[in-house]
Amino acid sequence: MHEMSLCEAVVEIAVEEARKNGATRIRAVVLEVGALGHVDPDALAFCFSAVSHGTLAENARLVVERVAGSGWCLDCAKTVPMTERFGACPDCGHRHVQMTQGDEFKLRELEVE
Q: What is the pLDDT along the chain (113 residues), one digit of tens a residue?
A: 589 999 999 999 999 999 999 999 999 999 999 999 999 999 999 999 999 999 999 999 999 999 999 999 999 999 999 999 999 999 999 999 999 999 999 999 999 99
Residues 107 and 60: beta-carbon distance below 8 Å: no
pTM of the complete model: 0.88
Give the whole-angstrom CA distance, residue 105 versus residue 86.
19
Architecture of domain 2-68+101-112: 2-Layer Sandwich (3.30)
C-alpha pair distances (Å), 75 with each of 2, 91, 95: 35, 10, 9
Give the whole-angstrom CA distance, residue 26 versus residue 103.
26
